[in-house]
Amino acid sequence: MTEKNYSLQSSTGYWVTRLARAIEADFEASLEKHNVTRAAWAVLSAIRHHDVTTPATLASFIGIDRAAITRHLDRIEEQGLIVRDRSSTDRRSVNLMLTLKGERLVPELAAESEAVNAKFVACLTENENGSIQSLIRRMLANSDVVVPDL
């Protein structure tokens, strides 16, 4: 009977993790020129593209806790990319809106995201890219843990 090779390099998880880290590092480097983080991009994208406009909903949508979302929102607001619109009748009720600066930045950040993705899938055919996404979704469906987007 032959012994199975259990080296690190024989692990699918190892290669998927390396790929994810490489894509994240590339994307983070491309975001630096805009002075934003991946977390800021996730927030801006959720507000703009998914109409997620309350801190609690945003935290759930992105997959982080409410304390973390508050810290992210503080930084993004300081940058002038969002405003918190507090209800005049209930100060606990907050609606998030992009500022004009934030609205103008979102398409630039989306282009950065698309460019990084294009770089990594350039070696794949359209069918291969679709297949790998499908396979990854199937693999994620087997997880017992839901991991946050950030």
Domain range annotation of the chain: 13-141
Residues 124 and 83: beta-carbon distance below 8 Å:
no
Tokens 């690190």 correspond to what residue? Answer: 8
Is this structure's pTM higher than 0.95?
no
pLDDT 10s digits, 7-57: 888 899 999 999 999 999 999 999 999 999 999 999 999 999 999 999 999
Which H or E element spans position 19? helix 12-32
pLDDT at 120: 97
Domain spanning 13-141: CATH 1.10.1490.10:
no
From the list 53, 32, 48, 58, the residue with the least C-alpha distance to 104 is 48
pLDDT at 1 over 60: no
Which H or E element spans position 10? none
Mean pLDDT of all residues in 46-69: 93
pLDDT at 64 over 70: yes
For 27-131, where are the E strands, in sequence order? 82-86, 94-98
